[in-house]
Structure formats: C-alpha cells, structure tokens
A and B are shown apart, each in its own frame.
Chain A
Amino acid sequence: MTTLDFSPRPGAAPLPRMVLAQAGAEARAMLRNGEQLLLTLIIPILLLVGFSQAALIDVEGSRIGFVTPGILALAVMSTAFTGQAIATGFERRYGVLKRLGATPLSRAGLLLAKTCAVIAVEIIQVVVIGAVALALGWSPHGNPLWVILLVLLGTAAFSGLGLLMAGTLRAEATLAGANLVYLVLLGLGGVVFPLTKFPSGIQPILELLPITALTQGMRSVLENGAGFPTGPVIVLLCWTVAGLGLAARTFRWE
C-alpha cells in the first residue's frame, strides 16, 4: 500500500487559484456537453449561414451585416442564460453545489468562477462566429469597446435570469423552461427576424426584452457604427439588477 502523509496541514488556496480551477472545470464541462454545443455554437452558426445566404428575410443593406450582430447576441444568451441555467439546475439537483459548500471555495468565489467560465466560452463563440461571418463577407463597424460593454452587460443580465431559474425550479423544469425561453426570445427579439415585421403596437414591448436590447445595441454599433448605445444599456442594466437581485434572494443551494 502506498503511504500518504495525512498529518493535518489545512489551509485554503488563494482565491484566484480556486476560482481559476473551478472556472476551468465549468468551461470544460460546457464545451464537452453535446447539447450545450448545439445551443451555443451549432444553432447560431446554422442560423448565421442560413439567414445571410438565403433570402429568408427582407432587410435594408447587407444581410450578413444585419444577421451577425443578432447571432452574437444569441450566442451570449445561449451561454449565459440557457447553458448556465441548465447546468446550475442539475448541479443543484446532484448535490454538487452542496458539496462545493464544504470546500474553501466560497459562494461568491463559485459565482465568479461561473462568470469566468461563461465569458471564456463566449470568447470562443465570438471568435468562431466572427470568423464564419468574415468569411461570408461581413465588415463590422463601430467602437469595439461598446461591443464589449454590451456583451458584458448582456452576460450579467442573462446570468441573473438563468440563476434565478436554476435556483428556484426543479432541474427538469429548468431544462424545459430555459430551452423554451431561448426559442421564444430567438423568435421575438429581433435576432434574425427584424423587429419591424411585428405589429407596431407590440414593438415597444419587445424592445424591453433583454435579448432585443442586446441585439439592437449590437446592431446599432456593428452595423451602423453608432455611438454609445444608451437605450439598450439602460434596459440591460435594469434586467441585470432585477435578475441578479431576485436570484440572490431566492436561490436555494440544495
């Protein structure tokens, strides 16, 4: 038998090391999960290619210029909301969150790790989707800083909603609900179908959805080279405060 030195030498690792280790585990789990990849990369790329190449929608200007910002917004939603909600819901169900609670990794550290993992996957999504779009003739405009700000705010808003769902519903309900919300927001949020195609009465309501704010903000910067996207930023900030605030109050760890 191998002998190991079990003599006590307790101590927590520095926070960055803990967060990095957990974030790495979460990112690997997302990238290895087939259903998650379908949602985060395959569906967005199919939509990007399909809607930019075939004349399925009627837009002013180039189709790829219209579709790409929407697909980038969809990518953020798929990872920060759908993927994170489903993964966290099942982690809760399998006692993973409870088990982590017995380690030196604090809850704040765990949330930080989840955020880092989501952002890491989003970077991969942006690189892959951007490369495909560029190959299809996309020429982005605008200030990249505003794009980064929108992606981060969108991530925060969708994470809040995803964690709100994962922390209150059963894992199966989260699985079904998160996919349903993904589909509904994909249809209603101006991702590929222009908002102008909806009846003018409901357009102002649709504009208050987080996906619509993210899509329109991305489009205003990347397609039209517009300046600071004030409206979308305010909408996303409101969703962030509401989502994260409610999630923090209602989240059940087991």
Chain B
Amino acid sequence: MRAGGSASGAGAAVEISGLIKRYGRTIAVDGLTMACGRGEVTAILGPNGAGKTSTIEICEGYRRLDAGTVRVLGLDPADPSLRPRLGVMPQAGGVPPAARAGEWLRVVSRFYAHPLDPGALLDLLGLTDHARTPYRRLSGGQQQRLSLAAAVIGRPELVFLDEPTAGLDPQARHACWDVVTGLRDAGVSVVLTTHHMDEAEKLSDHVVVIDHGRVVAEGSPETLTGAERQLRFRARPGLNLDELLSALPPGSAAKESPAGHYIIEGQVGPQLLATVTAWCATEGVTAEDLSIERRTLEDVFLELTGRELR
C-alpha cells in the first residue's frame, strides 16, 4: 500500500542541477544533475570517492556548493525551516560516546513536535536491551541502528541515509530494510547511499549510479539491468568456449568467471539453450545449476564504473 506523496506541494523531493563541489584542487562533484521523487526510495550508488557523501551532505545543508543549484523539498538546503522536515543519518558518529542509547534518543525526540515513541522505535530496531548502554559500548551495528532511529524519530518528510547498512549483520540489515520499506509505504521520501547492489535492487524505486562526481546511469532497477538475459551454469573448469561460440548465433558472448562458472550472453531463448546443452553433451559435461537470469545490478555497476580498485 502506498499512501501517496506528501501533502506539501508538488515537485521532486530533491532536485540537483549542475552541482559542483571542490575540495582544494580535487573536484568531488563535477556537474551532477539528478532528481529524487517524492514518496520514492532513491539509491545513490558509486565507488568510494565518487561524490556520494559530498552530494548528500550538500542536500542536508552541511556543505556549501561551489556551483549549480540544489533544491530540497523546493527550498535552499540551508533554509532552517527544512530542519524539522528532514531526517539525517550520517555515515558514522554524531552521538556523544558516553550518552546512553535510550536517553539520547529521548532527547532527540524532544526536538520535534510529533515524535515517534522512542521506546517503540528502540523495540523495532532491537535496541531495547541496550537502552541504558553508553553509545561507545554499543556494537557497530547497534550504533548504526540507533542513528537510523534518530533519523526517523521526528516523522520527517524526507530522510537521507548515508550507507545505512554498512557493517550490519543480516538480521540488522533486514530490520533496516523494514524501516525503509515502512517509510516508503507511509509516503516518506528516502535518499540512501549504499555499496550493496542487492539492497539497491530490493529497496529502491530509482537508482542513480555516480562516478567521478557525475551521473553515469539512472533509472529503475529494472531499466538499468535491462531486458537482456544471461544463461548461467556450473561445470568443470577450463572448457574450450571457442567451439561453443562458433555454434552460437553471432553477437553472443561466453565467458568463464570465476573458474567453473559459465555465463552466456546474447539472444537467450530456446535455440540458444538447446545449443548450449547439446555442446555440453558433446563435451561430456553436465551443466549444473543451469539458469536464465537477468543481469544483476552489480553487473551493470561494474560495467559502468570498471573493475579496478579505487
């Protein structure tokens, strides 16, 4: 169920046009243009240093931009009237190390007119048993969850989450996903950055891939991964793919990555499937875990941003 966009006016939740941000001689954001829809979850993907955090911190009003325009809920990010309308989860920290989790969340809740109940929120995020624990003695995942709780406690219209699931165990990731889904269902706009492709694919309505401070691709997860399919199977490593390729229609591609895992791309249909299995039979191998899949967002991401380490 979708409650629909927020009541306060039309337009995108975030509109960025020609954004430039420099740190000394380094250009962190280089003419970035993108928009995040109201009531949608937008995931910003990009390698480390791509400009994700700079962009998000400019939207949050933390950093000044060098050029371009940024509108958040139609306003200048520095506009103080935005503060109660935004929820912010920074990448790390922001909580006094000695503050007890429950007390700190209660203090933050007192800054808002209609906050969620801190106790219920602690409960939702599995922190009730740690309400009296000082922040510095929480695990990394518990600290992240407390920070997420503080980002949503004021019932904001728009939430910025900078790598919300970094360092979380699977249970905590799912709890975080439930919160994001809950926000979206309630009509809250969410902008998040992440390195987890499955997370972006699962949660977001809109994915923006940025690299070197620019948008390199954007769209729904479905549009980005495209209609193109791949055939995948496992077999003994080192099969000679040249022979297979000569039997496949032109324009097909075949690769072994990693060893023993084969991926065939092209016009994946009954004909191609029959050719591949026939070839396997002549090679005397059984194709295991044979499946036809869409490309994953991770494939698209690596294609767009390259494989070299940053």
A residues in contact (CB < 8 Å) with B: 1-13, 17-18, 20-22, 24-25, 28-29, 32-33, 90-91, 94-96, 98-99, 101-106, 254
Residue from B7, B95, B113, B178 within 8 A of A99 (CB atoms): B95
With A21-B111, A25-B104 given, can you name 8 additional A-B contacts, CB distance below 8 Å?
A: A2-B123, A8-B187, A11-B112, A12-B112, A98-B94, A99-B95, A102-B90, A103-B154
Q: A96 vs B266: C-alpha distance in the bound complex, in angstroms? A: 53
Contacts of B6 in A (CB 8 A): 8
Chain B nearest Cβ from A5, distance in angstroms: 7
Per DSSP, chain A at the interface is loop
Cβ–Cβ contact A8 & B111, under 8 A: no
**Interface residues on chain B, number (Cβ under 8 Å):** 51
Chain B nearest Cβ from A171, distance in angstroms: 12
Chain A residue nearest in CB terms to B185:
A6
Residue from A6, A17, A98 within 8 A of B155 (CB atoms): A6
* With known contacts A94-B95, A96-B96, A11–B188 Cβ distance under 8 A: no
B85 within 8 Å of A (CB atoms): yes
Contacts of B112 in A (CB 8 A): 10-13, 104
Contacts of B107 in A (CB 8 A): 21-22, 24-25
B80 within 8 Å of A (CB atoms): yes
Among B44-52, B114-122, B216-224, B230-238, the stretch in contact with A: B114-122
Cβ–Cβ contact B124 & A98, under 8 A: no
* With known contacts A29-B96, A99-B94, A11–B88 Cβ distance under 8 A: no
Chain B residue nearest in CB terms to A1:
B178
Per DSSP, chain B at the interface is loop
* With known contacts A1-B124, A2-B123, A21–B95 Cβ distance under 8 A: no
Cβ–Cβ contact B98 & A6, under 8 A: no
Contacts of A32 in B (CB 8 A): 98
In the assembled complex, 30 residue pairs joining A and B whose CB atoms fall closer than 8 Å, in A order, are A1-B124, A4-B120, A6-B179, A6-B183, A6-B188, A7-B155, A7-B188, A8-B6, A8-B157, A9-B155, A10-B154, A11-B84, A11-B112, A11-B113, A11-B154, A13-B112, A13-B113, A17-B110, A21-B106, A21-B111, A28-B103, A29-B98, A33-B98, A98-B94, A99-B94, A99-B150, A101-B61, A103-B108, A104-B84, A104-B111
B164 within 8 Å of A (CB atoms): no
B residues in contact (CB < 8 Å) with A: 3, 6-7, 60-62, 80, 83-86, 88, 90, 92-99, 103-104, 106-108, 110-114, 116-117, 120-121, 123-124, 150, 152, 154-157, 178-179, 182-183, 185-188
Chain B residue nearest in CB terms to A32:
B98
Chain B nearest Cβ from A32, distance in angstroms: 7
Residue from B90, B156, B178 within 8 A of A98 (CB atoms): B90
Contacts of B178 in A (CB 8 A): 1
Contacts of B88 in A (CB 8 A): 99, 102
Chain B nearest Cβ from A244, distance in angstroms: 22
* With known contacts A29-B96, A94-B95, A10–B182 Cβ distance under 8 A: no
Best-surrounded residue of A24, A102, A105 (most CB of chain B within 10 A): A102
Chain A residue nearest in CB terms to B91:
A95
Q: A98 vs B89: C-alpha distance in the bound complex, in angstroms? A: 11
Q: A32 vs B92: C-alpha distance in the bound complex, in angstroms? A: 24
* With known contacts A25-B103, A95-B90, A96-B96, A10–B110 Cβ distance under 8 A: no
